[in-house]
Amino acid sequence: MSQRRLSMSDFVVGQALLWDVFDEHRKLLLRKGQVVTSERQLASLVELGLFAEGEQGDHSHKEAPQKRVDPPSVLRMLNSAQERLGRLLHNLAGEADVSTKIMDVAKNIFIATTLSPDVAHGCILLNQKSGSYAVRHCVNTAIVAISVARIMKKSNDELKAITAAALTMNVSMLRQQDVWQDRTNALSPAEIEAIKKHPEESVALLKKVGVDNSDWLSFVLAHHENSEGTGYPLGAGAGQIAQNARILSFADHYCASISMRKYRRTLLPHAALRDVLMVEGKPHDPLLAACFIKEIGNYPAGTFVRLGTDELGVVIRRGETPGTPLVQALINPRGVALTIPIQRDTAKPLFGIREAVLNDGKMLRFSLQQLWGNEAAL
């Protein structure tokens, strides 16, 4: 059966798909009956290249609406991408066609992030025990970088290079990162010096296995540079660092800051953003700062919050304004876990957010599927 390429006109936002949708390699992306929920989601998917079985003139998709089916699990897609990426990065020298395989993982993460940005961002904060820290951090950085690059309307080629760089930026020190993750004391001067070498060493490893995309490599090399010229390995100044490399750098720093690590203090999302974006009370880069704040905000999905009712809950979706997300209440005002989560609209004064709180590992008594439904099924 031949494939026909789909366009925006083949879809109706909010209505069930009347056919299975594939990528150019005939990999199933969306099942018949699933629903595309927004114009933004649709535009991002169509840009990736979507196909249906049948000839160009086949209009069988105009049939009567079909029964709606459950959406794909973004959690499962991201866990699968993480597992595949881990196998690739830990066996880089033994892999053939590394560039294509990394780009395929990148594309899967892009699709997952497009299908449900809220679940994808929620996984950064709530799925921190999945697989190894080092590989998971690369996937988390890719999610944030994709989200910001997308609202900046970066081209498809730029998105690919940024995402691939996020997935491979630390390839030369993955095992060390996992060892350091469980320590309680600070890194030694020798270990810090080794860290400063990893951008160059990662680029060298990627070149050795055939990666020749100059943007991808340059973003990896520059992902620890900063506008003050105090970054590494080159000590480049603001005018010498490409904007896309800075997106990667900010995303990397943000994800590291909100991750639970024994040797470094974990920051709340709003504090992490301030730490990443500001220096001496002024933004490193006003345009990027505005885009990160718009896309992530003080209460990204997965953030634990205390409500005006004294309930504790977790943010699950954006609301009408950045400061009024939807929250699933998990713990009642007396500190007792609720039998089932209760959704609260924080735009209502009674349920307004009083403060964000750190997850001490004890508060999440619910699975991600209970918070988001089948979009977060294991």
pLDDT for 184: 79
Instruction: Point out the domain boundary residue: 272, 295, 318.
Output: 295
Residue 250 lies in a domain: yes
* 183 shares a domain with 281: yes
Q: Which of 259, 40, 60, 58 is nearest to 153 (CA)?
A: 40
Euclidean distance between CA atoms 191 and 229, whole angstroms: 21
Picking from 41-50, 54-63, 95-104, which range would have the lowest pLDDT averaged per residue?
54-63
* 56 shares a domain with 29: yes
What digits encode the pLDDT tens for the residues 312-354? 999 999 998 889 999 999 999 999 999 899 999 999 999 999 9
Strands of 51-53's sheet in order across: 3-5, 51-53, 21-22, 28-30
Q: Which of 1, 114, 104, 125 is nearest to 51 (CA)?
A: 1
* 260 shares a domain with 154: yes
* 80 shares a domain with 47: no
Euclidean distance between CA atoms 223 and 227, whole angstroms: 12
What digits encode the pLDDT tens for the residues 186-217? 888 988 888 999 999 999 999 999 999 999 99
* 252 shares a domain with 331: no
Residue 69 lies in a domain: no
Give 362's pLDDT tier (boundaries 50, 70, 90): low
Euclidean distance between CA atoms 86 and 168, whole angstroms: 10
* 308 shares a domain with 291: no
pLDDT for 97: 95
CATH number where 253 lies = 1.10.3210.10
* 347 shares a domain with 285: no
| Phi, psi values for residue 10, rounded to 5° | -80, -5
Global pTM value: 0.85
Contact between residue 91 and residue 83 where contact means Cβ atoms under 8 Å apart: no
Residue 68 lies in a domain: no
* 341 shares a domain with 252: no
**Count: domains in the chain:** 3
Instruction: Point out the domain boundary residue: 295, 328, 346.
Output: 295
Mean pLDDT of the chain: 88
What digits encode the pLDDT tens for the residues 153-192? 999 999 999 999 999 999 999 999 988 887 878 888 988 8
* 246 shares a domain with 101: yes
What digits encode the pLDDT tens for the residues 59-111? 444 444 445 556 689 999 999 999 999 999 999 999 999 999 999 999 999 99
* 180 shares a domain with 283: yes
Instruction: Let me know how long the chain is.
Output: 378
Higher-confidence residue of 46 and 226: namely 226
**What ranges in 116-197 are assigned the alpha helix state H?**
117-126, 133-151, 156-168, 174-181, 189-196
Structure tokens at 146: 């994709």
Residues of the domain holding 363? 304-376
Contact between residue 325 and residue 342 where contact means Cβ atoms under 8 Å apart: no
**HSE toward the beta carbon, residue 4, CA cutoff 13 A:** 13
Matching residue, tokens 């050795």 = 208
Instruction: Point out the domain boundary residue: 42, 62, 82.
Output: 62
What digits encode the pLDDT tens for the residues 250-281? 999 999 999 987 777 899 999 999 999 998 78
What digits encode the pLDDT tens for the residues 5-39? 777 667 777 677 777 877 777 777 777 777 777 76
* 234 shares a domain with 124: yes
* 230 shares a domain with 161: yes
